[in-house]
Amino acid sequence: MKISPKMKKSLNDQVALEGAASNSYLAMASWCEVTGYEGAANYFYAQSDEERTHMLKIIHYLNDMGAASTIPAIQSPLSTFKSLEGILKIALKNEQTVTAAIHKMVEITQKEKDHSTYAFLEWFVNEQVQEETKFETLLQKFELIGRDKLAINEIDKILAAESPTPVDSTA
């Protein structure tokens, strides 16, 4: 079982993209933390961890396939934001970019009849549906609840409740 050089490059590009996503969510978490959005900060710290696990999944897959992975450089992400809603909009856009990249890889696997990588990517295809839905639903909250201080506080609480794993930054 071997993957093509093209597939290897695409997967390595995806390692970089997941790493960049992790970094970007880290910047969002940090901004939320200093701004006083505690729930959102926890949410994005956890989201950053999640993206790192995605990156690791691909690194392990490449290595398992005998196509050593390339660890990308860390680029400094966008780190100044206007509002919580602005952050969620950027997050949704980032996820849409990731989805497009995953779909492109799936197309390569189909062309190359690379069934192993096709099966490997299935998890990512499903994950992206959830990721996009998650941010779309959160963005709807601004329409439903509002954009004043009380509304944003309410949305921050919703984010706190939806944090997949509360990150204990003091540990």
- Residue numbers at the binding site for Fe ion (CB under 5 A): 18, 51, 54, 131
Q: Give the integer Cα–Cα distance in Å for 92 and 98.
A: 10
- Whether the CB-CB separation of 77 and 18 falls below 8 Å is answered with no
DSSP run (H or E) holding 16 = helix 5-35
| Closer residue to Fe ion (CB): 18 or 114 | 18
Q: Which two structure tokens, joined as six digits, stand for 84?
A: 């919580």
Smallest distance from Fe ion to CB 121, Å: 12
Pick between residue 75 and residue 153 the one whose CB is nearest to Fe ion.
75
Which is nearer to Fe ion, 36 or 164 (by Cβ)? 164
3-state per-residue secondary structure call for 24-92? HHHHHHHHHHHHCCHHHHHHHHHHHHHHHHHHHHHHHHHHHCCCCCCCCCCCCCCCCCCCHHHHHHHHH
> DSSP assignment, residue 169?
T
Which residue, 114 or 131, is less far from Fe ion as judged by CB? Answer: 131
End-to-end CA distance of the chain: 43
CB of 153 to Fe ion, least distance (A): 26
Task: Tell the smallest beta-carbon distance from residue 81 to Fe ion (Å).
Answer: 18
CB of 146 to Fe ion, least distance (A): 27
- Residue 104: CB minimum distance to Fe ion, A: 15
Q: Which is nearer to Fe ion, 51 or 114 (CB)?
A: 51
Q: d(Cα 52, Cα 19) in Å, to the nearest integer?
A: 6
